[in-house]
Structure 1
Amino acid sequence: MKKFIALFFVLLVLSSCSEYQKALKNDDTAKKYEVGTKMYEKGKFGKALRLFEQIAPSYQGKPQAEKLFYMYAKSYYAEEQYYPAGYQFERFASTYPRSEKAEEAAYLGAYSFSKLSPRYSLDQVDTFKAIDKLQTFINNYPNSQFLPEANRIAKELREKIEKKNFEIAKQYNTIADYKSALIALDNFIADFPGTPYKEKALYYKLDSAYNLAINSVQAKMEERLITAKNAYTSLIKFNASTEYKSKADDMLARIETDLKQFSK
């Protein structure tokens, strides 16, 4: 009995494979649609996708098109091909705005673009694009069941952009380009006033101002020492018990010592 069941299962698999291969080579679009739907429902999204790719252009405007293009987009998504998935979901949502799947498609389209966002150290063009897509979804579907998740992902992407900007500003300090560091850090603090990196940014601003001042020519030193002292004040005002307190105090002592020569 067990051998019979095993044999039946093998024959069933072979039959399914044979049906798929025939449909793949067949010019009958209706057959491709039928087999592609079967593959989709069985979770064989790669096979479904190959068939849907062959027939999608010829099904535009047909009664079955709505179902086909939803399965088409979902198959790309399941195969983690997020760029074409995002494109197809967006196209579905705009083509079938009254569809019961339109909201889900709009969300999955935006979500697919978010999956293209690289790590923070790389170019963030795709991250900005994903944020725009998610914000459009949030604006269009303010009562959506997907809203909490969309807001969470958008927040994570914005935090990635924030970290990217902080690391760029900090990098100027690291390579001892202190003038550029001061400009970049000031811009960062202005652009992201509530950032969790603010204390670090204020410290690196102090460090940059301090190093720029003590290495200045005499004619520019006083003004730059005062700028550095103001940077110290900003850091301590933000957090009097900052983790950088010891280093900051050492810098202040040097600043005040050097300033004495200008008070004579």
Structure 2
Amino acid sequence: MKYGLVLTITTLFFLAGCGSSEVVTNLPPEERFAKAKQLFDDEDYLEAINEFTVITLQYQGSSVAADAQFYLAEARFMRHEYLLASYEYQTLKRNMGASSRVPEAQYKLGLCFYNLSPKSRLDQQYTKKAIDELQAYVEYYPNDARVGDATEKIRELTTRLAKKEYDSAELYATLDYHKAALAYYDNVIEKYHDTEYAPLSYLGKTELLMGRKKYREAKVEITRFLDRFPNSVLRSRGDKLNEQIDSELKSLPSVNDTTSGGASNSSNANLLRTN
């Protein structure tokens, strides 16, 4: 991974520069870690990163290796270097899976992508990645202390994805690209049915079908809305649309009438041919 290459090169330069410091270099791993941790606690994150990096490379099998890897990720997180921090958290998970730091590392990995997640109108790659990592945390560590916060963030991010789909539907509806608009409304309804944009999508789809005089299809959608969201704050709007649809349907010939009329016309045509 490219971030690993960057980190390795940086570390080699650092080690070369510190080779003359015998006092620091010869410290046992526990003391070296204590020194690095003090730098971290003093919010000297850049120097802490250098120290933790040395420990992870020189003392990989030591008792402080996992903690050093964790705090290396934490220092990058505190510097808002979220992509680099995500790499370090993943390294801890991958190489030190038995460490007690792994649950928190999984949670913080999700937070890295959460912090990188942009507004709904922009590309949502990091939003989806954040949901995946936070969901993994909730599933693997359901009793961990941060599950409630992770669940809330998943809900927030899912709503952001739903908003992007809904906004696209509304845009296409405004531009009279009806097929595309209906597809996006359906995406919201199917994928994000537990967000606030699901009832809005039912109503948007209903209104679009009404505008195209497809009242029978509109009736199906408004009925689903009323059944699934009986207590919605949008209920009054839904009731009005339902009344309008019923009024329009009364003025339409029934399916049986249409069929009978077609059969009658066919019979008349046959009689004319016979005569």
TM, length-normalised to structure 1? 0.71
1:226 pairs, out of 216, 219, 222, with 216
Q: Is the 8 A contact 2:56 2:65 kept in 1?
A: no
Report what 1:130 is aligned to.
Answer: 130
Residues 1:71 and 1:166: Cα distance change in structure 2 (over 3 Å): same
Cα deviation, 1:58-92, whole Å, max 9, x if unaligned, reads 42625253343222111101111111111101211
Q: Secondary structure at the match of 2:144?
A: coil
8 A contact 2:103–2:141 mirrored in 1: yes
Whether the aligned pair in 2 keeps the contact of 1:166 and 1:197 (CA below 8 Å) is yes
Pairing partner for 2:237 from 218, 239, 243: 243
Look up the equivalent residue of 2:45 and give its one-letter code: F
Structure-2 separation of matches of 1:56 and 1:36:
9
Question: Do 2:202 and 2:225's aligned partners in 1 also have CA atoms closer than 8 Å?
Answer: yes
Q: Does 1:152 align with 2:144?
A: no
Distance in 1 (CA, whole Å) between partners of 2:15 and 2:36 is: 9
Counterpart of 2:120?
A: 120
Where structure 2 has 5 or more consecutive residues not aligned to the other structure, the ranges are 1-13, 262-275
Cα pair 1:82 1:112 within 8 Å, conserved: yes
Structure 2 Cα separation of the partners of residues 235 and 67 of structure 1: 52
Gap change, CA 1:136 and 1:236, over 3 Å in 2: closer
1:26 aligns with 2:25: no
TM superposition shift of 1:52: 4.7
d(CA) in 2 for partners of 1:42, 1:225: 67
Relative to structure 1, the CA distance from residue 169 to residue 84 in structure 2 (aligned partners, 3 Å threshold; closer, same or farther) is same
Task: Output the amino acid matched with 2:217.
Answer: T
Query: Using a 3 Å threshold, how does the CA distance of structure 1 residues 47 and 182 change in structure 2: closer, same or farther?
Result: same
How far apart are the structure 2 equivalents of 1:99 and 1:37? 18
CA shift at 1:227, angstroms?
2.8
Per-residue deviation, residues 144-177 of structure 1 (Å, max 9, x unmatched): 1122122221221112112222222222212221
- Shift of the 188–48 alpha-carbon distance from structure 1 to 2, 3 Å rule, reads same
What is the number of residues matched between the two proteins? 231
Q: Distance in 1 between matches of 2:174 and 2:141?
A: 44
Aligned counterpart, 1:170: 170
Cα separation, 1, equivalents of 2:121 and 2:157: 13
Q: Distance in 2 between matches of 1:131 and 1:49?
A: 28
1:97-129, Cα deviation, whole Å (9 max, x unpaired): 333323222221222222111111111111111
Percent identity reads 22
Range with greater deviation from structure 2 (123-132 or 138-147): 138-147
Paired residue type of 2:58: Y
* Partners of 2:185 and 2:201 within 8 A in 1: yes
Structure 1 position 59 matched with structure 2 position 58: yes
Measure, in 1, the Cα distance between the counterparts of 2:179 and 2:201: 14
Provide, for residues 187-231 of structure 1, a one-character-per-residue CA deviation record: whole Å limited to 9, x for no partner. 422333333223321221122112223xxxxxxxxxx34334544
The answer as to whether partners of 2:226 and 2:238 remain within 8 angstroms in 1 is: no
Deviation at 1:46, TM superposition (A): 2.6
Give 1:14-93 correspondences, 5 Å limit. Answer: 25-28=17-20, 31=24, 34=32, 36-50=36-50, 52=52, 55=54, 58-59=57-58, 61-63=60-62, 64-93=64-93
Whole-angstrom CA distance in 2 between matches of 1:29 and 1:259: 91
Conserved in 2, the CA contact under 8 Å of 1:40 and 1:75?
Answer: yes
> RMSD value over aligned CA atoms?
3.4
**2-structure distance, mates of 1:160, 1:134:** 15
Output the CA distance in 1 between the equivalents of 2:190 and 2:38.
Answer: 55
